[in-house]
Amino acid sequence: MRKLNRIIVLSLLVLILMSVSTLDIEAFNYTDDVQKIVLDNGVTLLLKENPAYDIIALALMSSVGSVHDPVGLEGLTFLTQRNLISGTKTRTGQELVMELESWGVQLQTLASYDYSAILLQTMPSTFEQSFAVLMDIIDSSNFPELEFERERMLSQMQLQSLTDDPTNAVLLAYLELFYGEHPYKFTPYGSDVGLATIQREDLHDWHQYIYQPEHLVISVVGNFSTEKLLTTLKDSFGVWESDYAGSHSPREQVPFIYPDENREIEINVPLEAAFLVMGYSAPDSFDEDSAAMTVINGILGGGMSSRLFTEIRDKRGLAYTAISQYDDRLGPSNFFMFLATHPLNLEQAKEQILVEVGRFATEGLTEEEIAQVAVREKGLYLLGNETNMSQATTLAMAELTGRGYEWVDEYMNFFDGVTPEDIKKVAEKYLQHYTGVIITP
């Protein structure tokens, strides 16, 4: 029911945006009241008072992600983040959970390809004690041996569960084939070898590296006094020093060379259905070509009105499902199509994908089609930034990636300059050589 309500709201918002001939971007500014402070040690603070909602949302984000895991220790960032709330020098993991739950506080740790994060959401009346727990976790996590082994086992089980599901297995095989030796070939969970090799002591080292001050952006949105909160943050984070002396160094980043020929592998599994992923090179998330690629993705596989869905599934009945995705990566990205079908329809469905992809270079798109995707993306963006926490994380990510927090508002103009000629140019540049993986009986 919640999903249906979201679809209805989005549809209404799209209609409203389309009915406005000139979009009043000023109405959608999130950053007007943001204060940016860079502490002497490099920690960046973003503070935005929002008394309309009686919630304080804090996003502490580090520029260290799984892509930086040392060679042979893939999964180190994920395991470190996962074990942060397993216990500190003064609290057991159970005590941490019970304290936070008793205050109605939400605390979450995350690890993705390009960043790590701790997210804290609390009422103003419980912020002080909640923040004290947050600092205890960051400063004093001791990674108990039993909890570490338990979390390692759970992570290994999660990684194995991905490969057991053909929908995920075909995508994992595609990423490995597409990226070769680049660390993007691994999920943030890591690798079987990495998870088996990592020791508890490695987490102590890597925890220090993740939370070096120069890696951090702390964004806070909510009902607070900037003057009071700034003092708290300065006292807590301003004394940190860049003093990492651990035994592990981040993986050296090497240039990635995009495939210059078609590549395809077939994996035979006794199933009744066939699964296909075909992917192409794509601009990274902040490349000048990324807006045009987002439009291409929206037209090709973005929903039930997309070309893949209508041409392959509805008109020809060649697939159970057909979608596309433009991966959000700070480094070398990719743009892939996923299809599930009956094995007898596989080759014909694959040929139709190639036809639909080829149309972007030969036919381009009309201005109306581009505008349609732009409206939808803006609507999704507005809906996705309704809460204090979503705004805190969006501000922090924009700052962390180097665009600056002001980009949060600039996104509303992101698609304005995309032209039909840009679509053809980007398609000719990137959609030439595919990497394909098939799972079939």
305 — pLDDT class (breaks 50, 70, 90): confident
Q: How many domains does the structure of the chain reveal?
A: 2
222 — pLDDT class (breaks 50, 70, 90): very high
More confident residue, 72 or 27: 72
107, part of any domain = yes
**What is the token pair recorded at 241?**
């020093």
- Compute the distance between CA of residue 142 and CA of residue 91 in angstroms, rounded to an integer: 10
250, part of any domain = no
> Where on the phi/psi map is residue 130: left (φ > 0), alpha (ψ -120 to 50), or beta?
alpha
Q: What is the pLDDT of the chain when averaged over all its residues?
A: 92
Radius of gyration of the chain (CA): 23
256, part of any domain = no
Q: Are residues 205 and 271 in the same domain?
A: no
Q: Are residues 314 and 204 in the same domain?
A: no
* pLDDT at position 36: 98
* pLDDT at position 349: 97
- Compute the distance between CA of residue 156 and CA of residue 138 in angstroms, rounded to an integer: 25
- Compute the distance between CA of residue 323 and CA of residue 336 in angstroms, rounded to an integer: 9
Compute the C-alpha angle 191/197/201, nearest 5°.
120
Instruction: Render pLDDT for 189-212 as a digit per residue (tens, 0 to 9).
Output: 999 999 999 999 999 999 999 999
Q: Are residues 212 and 348 in the same domain?
A: no
282 — pLDDT class (breaks 50, 70, 90): very high
Q: Reply yes or no on whether the pLDDT at 322 is more than 90.
A: yes
308, part of any domain = yes
Quote the domain boundaries for residue 425: 263-440
More confident residue, 146 or 30: 146
3 — pLDDT class (breaks 50, 70, 90): very low
Question: Which of 237, 271, 293 is the last residue before a domain boundary?
Answer: 237
* Average pLDDT for 1-6: 40
* Average pLDDT for 6-33: 50
Q: Reply yes or no on whether the pLDDT at 79 is more than 70.
A: yes
CATH assignment at residue 316: 3.30.830.10
Q: Reply yes or no on whether the pLDDT at 21 is more than 90.
A: no
Q: Are residues 220 and 127 in the same domain?
A: yes
Q: Are residues 96 and 227 in the same domain?
A: yes
Q: Reply yes or no on whether the pLDDT at 23 is more than 60.
A: no
Q: Are residues 219 and 364 in the same domain?
A: no
* pLDDT at position 28: 62
